[in-house]
Amino acid sequence: MTENRTVVLLLLLAAILPAFAGGQYVMHLLIMTFFYAMLSTSLNLIVGYVGELSLGHAAFFGLGAYASAVLSLEAGLPFFACLPVAGVVAGLAALLIGSITLRLEGHFFVLISLAFAEVLRYVVINSIDLLRGPLGYPNVPAPRLSLGGTVLADFSSKIHFYYLGLALLALTLLAAWRFARSSYGLGAIAVRENRRLARAVGIDPFRHALVAFVVGGALAGLAGSFYAHYLTFVGPEVLGFGFTLSALMMVVIGGRGTLLGPLLGAAVVGITLELLRSVNEARLSIFGILLVLAVIFLPDGLVSLAARWRRPTLEADQATAALDSPLRP
């Protein structure tokens, strides 16, 4: 169970990090890393555990962001009330979309998931009266944590968002871990590995995929709510393909179907993009090349590197990865 321990250790390290590393910008990068780690962990439930390529994940993230922005600005609800609602809204959307699309064969699922997200984006862009269309929602208020009459944290400082993000990330990872260990998670993995065999032992692939889809969608909604209140602006771009692509990148670079993978992916992609700022215009070109190389040489992600390190041969490598996995039945 080294992977779980590594994850816990990383979270603990992150919790004491502000004592050593300061700087608003580093804080901001870390907060965004937490956010992306949440988003990619939620996507990982679908692409990693169920093994379906979902290109519409931004729909759930975006719905969460919009739900939170609208509730706090129009209804005046506090962040800690908006957050769960955002998760529920996104989860319900995932239930609706998933129950329609997950019955379709893989190729078709890839594209129809994207179609749903894009339709949603166009609906938002064109709903001027209801959702302010392309104008979006500026000035989404910061959270406020109070007990009785005393304000514990007013989130005027980055450190508050840092710990909020870390807490939500821990919650997301816990949910993902619980899911992966549950009968649904194990069933989903069985379906991913061998669909026919799984059916033969009585696992309903659709139901297992749907549960993963709903949990993943709800977690993306929570990430959306956090994003809305941290960045203070929500517009139709939150429903755009870009967020799905970023999350997908992180899942694959880190290692799909693992708990640690999306976490590593978010950190590594974020840091790489930051370090590449020194090359100015060539930044994204070089990033594209790095992405291609990373995937070609490490198709199973950074997580597989650790296994390779310990055992020299490829076969032993895979065996170790399988044994290390906390997801083994």
Partner 1 sequence: MLLGDILQFALNGVVTGCFYALMALGLSLVFGLMNIVNFAHGALFVLGGMLASEATNRLGLPFWAAVPAVLLVMWAVGVAIEGGLLARMRDAHILPVTLVTIGLSTFLVNTMLMLFGTEPKNVETGFSGPPFFLGDVIISQSRVLAIGVSAVAILATWVLIAHTRAGRAMRAVFQQPEAAALAGIPIARVHRFTFALGTTLAGLAGILLGAVFVVHPNTAEPAAVKAFVVIILGGIGSLPGAVLGGLLLGLAESLWGGFVSTGYMDAVGFVLVIAILLFRPSGLLGAPAAREG
Partner 2 sequence: MLDLRRFLAGLVMLGASASAAIAQPQSVRIGVIEPQTGPVAFDGTSVLRGARLAAEEINRAGGVLGRPLELVIADGACRPADSVAAAERLITSEKVAALMGAFCSGATQAVMPIAERNRIPLVTGVSSLPTLTEAGNRWFFRNAETDAVLAAAFARGLVEQTKAKTVAFLAVNDDWGRGTVGAFRGVFERLGVTISMAEFFDHSASDFYTPLTRIRSARPDLVVVVAETQAAATLVKQARELRLSSRIFGVGAWSTPTFLNLVGSAANGLLAGVAYTATAPGDLNAAFVQAYRAANNEDPGKYSASGYTTMHLIAQAIARAGSTDAVAIQTALEATDYTGPTGNLRFDGKHQVYGLQLYVVEIENGRPEVRGTARIERAD
Binding residues vs partner 1 (CB under 8 A): 47, 53, 100-101, 103-108, 110-112, 114-116, 118-119, 122-123, 125-126, 199, 205, 241, 245, 248-249, 251-253, 256, 281-285, 287-292, 295-296, 299
Single residue of 48, 87, 98, 136 touching partner 2 by CB under 8 A: 136
308: three-class secondary structure by DSSP: helix
153: three-class secondary structure by DSSP: strand
Nearer to partner 2, 33 or 113 (CB): 33
DSSP state of 234: B
Q: Is residue 23 near partner 2 by the rule CB under 8 A?
A: yes
Q: Is residue 305 near partner 2 by the rule CB under 8 A?
A: yes
Nearer to partner 2, 150 or 278 (CB): 278
Q: Is residue 126 near partner 2 by the rule CB under 8 A?
A: yes
Distances (CA, A) of 165 to 35, 128, 177, 227, 257: 7, 31, 18, 9, 22
Single residue of 150, 281, 296, 329 touching partner 2 by CB under 8 A: 281
Q: Is residue 32 near partner 2 by the rule CB under 8 A?
A: yes
Q: Is residue 314 near partner 2 by the rule CB under 8 A?
A: no
For residue 105, the partner it binds in partner 1, partner 2, none, with Cβ less than 5 to 8 A by kind, is partner 1
Q: Find the distance separating the first CA and the last CA of the chain, reported in whole Å.
A: 13
81: three-class secondary structure by DSSP: helix
Instruction: Name the CA radius of gyration of the chain, rounded.
Output: 20
Q: How far apart are CA 113 and CA 124, in angstroms?
A: 17
Applying CB under 8 A, the span of 97-105, 146-154, 165-173, 274-282 interacting with partner 2 comes to 274-282
How far is residue 184 CA from its own chain's centroid?
A: 19
Other CB atoms within a 10 A radius of the CB of residue 252 amount to 24
Site for partner 2 in 196-235 (CB under 8 A): 227, 231-233, 235
For residue 47, the partner it binds in partner 1, partner 2, none, with Cβ less than 5 to 8 A by kind, is partner 1
Question: CB under 8 Å to 155, separation ≥6 — which residues?
Answer: 142, 143, 144, 145, 161, 164, 229
For residue 303, the partner it binds in partner 2, partner 1, none, with Cβ less than 5 to 8 A by kind, is partner 2
Q: Is residue 10 near partner 2 by the rule CB under 8 A?
A: yes
Nearer to partner 1, 30 or 55 (CB): 55
255: three-class secondary structure by DSSP: coil
**Number of amino acids touching partner 2 (CB under 8 A):** 47
Q: How far apart are CA 209 and CA 201, in angstroms?
A: 16
Single residue of 219, 220, 222, 268 touching partner 2 by CB under 8 A: 268
